[in-house]
Each structure stands twice: as structure tokens, then as C-alpha cells.
Amino acid sequence: MALAFDEYGRPFIIIKEQEQKSRLRGLDAQKANINAGKAVARILRTSLGPKGMDKMLQSPDGDVTITNDGATILEQMDVDNQIAKLMVELSRSQDYEIGDGTTGVVVMAGALLEQAEKLLERGIHPVRVAEGYEMASRIAVEHLEHIAQKFDFNVTNIEPLVQTCMTTLSSKIVNRCKQTLAEIAVKAVLAVADLERKDVNLDLIKVEGKVGGKLEDTELVYGIIVDKDMSHPQMPKRIEDAKIAILTCPFEPPKPKTKHKVDIDTVEKFQTLRQQELKYFDDMVQKCKDVGATLVICQWGFDDEANHLLMHRNLPAVRWVGGVELELIAIATGGRIVPRFQELTPEKLGRAGLVREKSFGTTKDRMLYIEQCANSRAVTIFIRGGNKMMIEETKRSLHDALCVARNLLRNNSIVYGGGSAEISCSIAVDAAAYRYPGVEQYAIRSFAEALDSIPMALAENSGLQPIETLSAVKLQQIKDNTPFCGIDCNDVGTNNMQEQNVFETLIGKQQQILLATQVVKMILKIDDVISPSEY
């Protein structure tokens, strides 16, 4: 588009090549958008719940990911359609804010779109649908507050937290070890939590993985693990009460930045130069020793000469440690990162009770454990597993569990899972629809129906008859006023989620409903799609 002026100075807009663009208007636009959104939701629907299917995604360069996590599936799908991208964003926002419930939010949005399509076909204006959805979502969110329960936990009784994390993990590939992993997640979060401010800095929890061993060998280390080893095989493998110099300067003589020329024409000159270089190394090592360092961790490398000297002078060292790790080590050990040798002072050294090198199985792989740190508020979860895919999926699942534990620490309200909260909301929203005299009433009822799609999907994925199962549970909830009855996905024998210990966080569930409604409202309000034409 361009702004032009006619001979009287009046502005007008020139729209270029309009006829070459494809354009969809009115109901056609809404239907096309709804279909795009539904298509994305359909993909995720089968992944929902403890019996949900996993997806295998191959990237253009051949990397394979197997996952059950909604956000990851959508992230890697590389969708083209703009509305489909909105759904991807939706799942991502749930991931950023809450960390769990990324599949559920998309399935919910898909169901809302499906219901909206029916309403549009019956001639209801999209804006009225959007308004009805908004009202219904408010009713649902309020109702969730009513059925939510608080639970008490403290540092000695972590069982309720573990149970909630286990619900999250039960739908993942790693559910075989959900008890171990849930306990690790809760302990990690409690270790770094600020219980007074009720906040958790998840950056202090490092998740590291190494191929090999079993998933059960996954452990929580109160300290930092670095995927590096001592720079020389003869250096000590265990240092107690370590004082650590954390350096971002290399162990090498300074190099002039501009071009330089050194003429060496005699043996003596060469000897002097060599002596000079040696002295540089020696001074550096001496400087570290003088301030009292017993271990050097360096962001850069050092050549064989320096390495040998370090070994000789009995100063263990680790080289090529990444920036992020270096920062974490500094936080954990209470040390300072030192950019120049001249700035090294005893106060800047980090302290750790034990630094040890651990080797794994028959491989040459070794890792460095820095434990009993001065500032114990940094922990590492060390994942073991048969292959890289498994480790990556465990990392993603643990991320969800960590987020759930953090959310509970911030706000200890829970609702019951297994679709029970959705069914209860659906009943409440449906009952409230009569209070609204306008056309919105239809949209509100459709919203209630859309809420049912979560328990339906859970039942479907578990091989149960969706309609029969849902209506039976719904009847039970209405008759006995039991908002904790859901879908018995694992065939335990009871659909009482309280007994099954299937919890979800209140804020997570509320966020799911709010975000899904927001996106659907946005999609419904688009009535003109102008896109560049294909040819």
C-alpha cells in the first residue's frame, strides 16, 4: 500500500496488485480458519491422558524426537497456516506460564472451534458466539475456585506434592518411573525454593543427561555436574574442601592484537623466548596457588605445556567449561568469575566440600561432580537412559513436573484430574445458561459441550466407550454432587480421582480455559483473510 496525493493535495491510498491476492470473506473465512484450528487440535487429541499416544517427529536433518508433550509436538510440526500457528502459540503460552497442560489447552480450543462452527451454521453471529464463550469461561473459572481444594504440605511431608507431580508424569513415556522422578522433581524444587516469598527460581535446577544406565539410575545431586573431566589423567580425581578459581581467561601468554614479527636467528634468542613463555605459565599457576586455589575451572583451553605444568605443580584443572555452567558453578560455590589473572583474590574463590570425577561403566566418559557447595541452592538432576531420545523426553517430562511443583508452592490449590474438573464445570456452565436470555445462551451451552470433550478424549484414548462413560460419570456427579469423579483411564476400578490421587493445579486448569477461550474468540472475529496468491 502507498499513500499518494491528488492535485488538490487530498490523500488517497493505492492498494497494489489487489486482484492477485486470494481473499476469503465472511463465513467462508471463519469456516476455513476453524478448520485449520481443528486440524491441529485433532493431531493432539490422541496424545491426551495417561493412555495417550506418542508422536514421532523427524526434523529435516534427520533428528528423531518421540514425545507426548503437546508444546513439543506443535513446536516441531513446522505448520504453514497462520491459524495453525496461533494454536502453536497457544500451547507455547501455556508452557511459558504454567508448564503443564499443553495438550489439554489445544484440545479444548479445538472443541470450542468445533462447537462454534455449528453455531455459525445455525446463523448465530460470530461476535455473539465470542461473547457467549467469554461469559461461559468466566463461569467455569469461578466454578473451579469453588471445587478447588487446598492441601497442606511442608518440607517434611512432601507426599501431596509428589502425588500431583505423578499425575503429570503418568501420561508421559517415562511413567514407568514416575514415583522416582516425581520425588526428584519435588526435592529439587524444595531445595531451591524461597519458601518465605513462595517462589522458585527454576534456573537454579540444572537438568543434565548422559546416555547409558537405566532410567531408574536418575539421581538428584545437591550441587553441579559438569560434563567435563580433569585436564590431565594424572590429576587427583577427588578434592575435598575445594577452593575453586573460576576463570574466563586462557592459560597462555598474551598475544599482541596487531601484526608482529619476532626475529629469532640464534639458539640463545630461542631459549630466551621459551624461558619467557614458561615464565608466563609459571606466574599464572603461581598466582592461582598464591591465592589458595586448589582447583581451577577455566572457560578456555590451555596447551599441553600449561597442562603438564599444572599437573606438576599439583593444581588440578578443568578446561573448556561452557559459560552457562561457569555461571552456575559461581552461584553454587559462592565464587566470582574472574576475567584476568591479576584480579584473582582469595575472596573470589568458590568453595565446595567435595569435587569428584566419576566415570561411567566401561566407557571413557567421565563427569565432574561439585557437591556440598557453599550456596546449596543449586541442584542438578542427572538423567540416565538407554538412548538420546529417551533422555530428551525425560528432560521434557521433568520440566512439566518441576513446573507443577513450583506452581503448587506458589498456590497450593488443586482440582481433581481425569476430566473430573471439566465435567463439573460443564454441568455448572450448562446450568447457568438459563440465566442469560440472549442468543449467547446457545454459545454458553456449546461451551459446556466443548468442556466435555476433554473427558471424552481421555475415555476414547483409554479404549472406553466415550459417550457411555461420560454420561455415566456426569450422572454420578449430578446425583451425588461429587466433582471429583472422572474417567478411570488406568482401569483402577474406581473413578474417584480423590482416591486415585490424580490432581492438577487450580491455576493450570484455569489458565487452560482462559487461554483456549481467548484464542477461539480471536479466530472467530476474523472475517477477512487476505493472503498472497499461490501463483
Between 380 and 397, name the residue whose CB sits nearer to ligand ADP. Answer: 397
Please choose, out of 147-155, 212-220, 340-348, 413-421, the segment that lies near ligand ADP by the rule CB under 6 A. Answer: 413-421
Residue type, 272: T
Angle between helices 178-192 and 388-410 (to 10 degrees): 50
Strand partners, 12: 4
Is 132 or 419 the residue whose CB approaches ligand ADP more closely?
419
Does 48 sit near ligand ADP (CB under 6 A)? yes
Q: Which of 95, 100, 229, 400 is catalytic?
A: 400
Active-site pick, 65, 67, 72, 102: 102
Which C-beta is closer to ligand ADP: that of 352 or that of 415? 415
SS (H, E, C) 389-446: HHHHHHHHHHHHHHHHHHHHHHCCEEEECCCHHHHHHHHHHHHHHHHCCCCHHHHHHH
Segment near ligand ADP (CB under 6 A), from 20-28, 48-56, 73-81, 283-291? Answer: 48-56
For the purposes of burial, counting CB atoms within 10 Å of the CB of 366, is it exposed (0-12), middle (13-18) or buried (19 or more)? Answer: middle
User: What is the number of other CB atoms lying within 10 angstroms of the CB of residue 434?
Assistant: 10
Q: Using the rule CB under 6 A, which residue among 458, 464, 516, 519 binds ligand ADP?
A: 458
Q: Which is nearer to ligand ADP, 33 or 72 (CB)?
A: 72
Burial classification of residue 8, based on how many CB atoms lie within 10 Å of its CB (0-12 exposed, 13-18 middle, 19 or more buried): exposed
Name the residue nearer to ligand ADP (CB basis): 328 or 404: 404
Active site residue 102: yes
Q: Does 504 bind ligand ADP (CB under 6 A)?
A: yes
Please enumerate in sequence order all residues whose Cβ is within 8 A of that of 3, keeping only pairs 6 or more positions apart, or say none.
11, 12, 13, 14
Residue 490 CB, nearest distance to ligand ADP (Å)? 5
Beta strands (DSSP E) in 329-392 are: 337-338, 350-359, 366-373, 379-385
Q: Phi/psi at 419 (nearest 5 deg)? A: 80, 0
Q: State yes or no: residue 417 binds ligand ADP (CB under 6 A).
A: yes
No. of H helices and E strands in the chain?
16, 21
64 to 83: interface string for ligand ADP, x by CB under 6 A: ----x-x-------------
- To the query of whether residue 400 is one of the catalytic residues in this protein, the response is yes
Q: Which residue has the cell 494454536?
A: 87
Binding track, positions 318-357, relative to ligand ADP; x by CB under 6 A: ----------------------------------------
Mask: binding to ligand ADP, 473-492, rule CB under 6 A, as x and -?
Answer: -------------xx-xx--
Q: How many CB atoms lie within 10 A of CB 270?
A: 11
Which of 95, 100, 229, 371: binder of ligand ADP (CB under 6 A)?
A: 100
Identified binder of ligand ADP from the candidate list 67, 170, 333, 511, rule CB under 6 A? 170
Catalytic-residue membership of 258: no
Catalytic residue flag (residue 65): no
Identify which range of 265-273, 315-323, 414-422, 464-472 contacts ligand ADP by CB under 6 A: 414-422
State the Cα–Cα distance between residues 227 and 229, nearest whole angstrom. 7
Size of the residue set binding ligand ADP (CB under 6 A): 26
| Residue 205 CB, nearest approach to ligand ADP (Å) | 20
Q: What is the DSSP string of 277-296?
A: HHHHHHHHHHHHHHHT-SEE
Helix-, strand-, coil-residue percentages of the chain, each rounded to 5: 50, 20, 30
- Binder to ligand ADP among 37, 104, 223, 385 (CB under 6 A)? 104
- Min. distance of Cβ 58 from ligand ADP in angstroms? 21
Q: Are 95 and 71 in contact (CB under 8 A)?
A: yes
Distance CA 146, CA 424 (A): 10
Binding-site member from 167, 446, 511, 517 for ligand ADP (CB under 6 A):
167
Q: Per rule CB under 6 A, is residue 49 in the interface with ligand ADP?
A: yes
Residue 37 or 52: which CB sits closer to ligand ADP?
52
Interface with ligand ADP, residue 209, by CB under 6 A: no
At its nearest, how many Å lie between ligand ADP and the CB of residue 463?
13
* Residue of closest CB approach to ligand ADP: 417
Stretch that binds ligand ADP, among 167-175, 213-221, 319-327, 471-479 (CB under 6 A): 167-175
User: What span, in angstroms and rounded, lies between the C-alpha atoms of 350 and 239?
Assistant: 13
**480 is written with which cell numbers?**
451425588
What sign has the CA pseudo-torsion 481, 483, 488, 492? negative
By CB under 6 A, name the binding residues for ligand ADP: 47-50, 52, 68, 70, 100-104, 167, 170-171, 417-419, 458, 486-487, 489-490, 500, 502, 504
Please identify every residue annotated as catalytic. 69, 102-103, 400
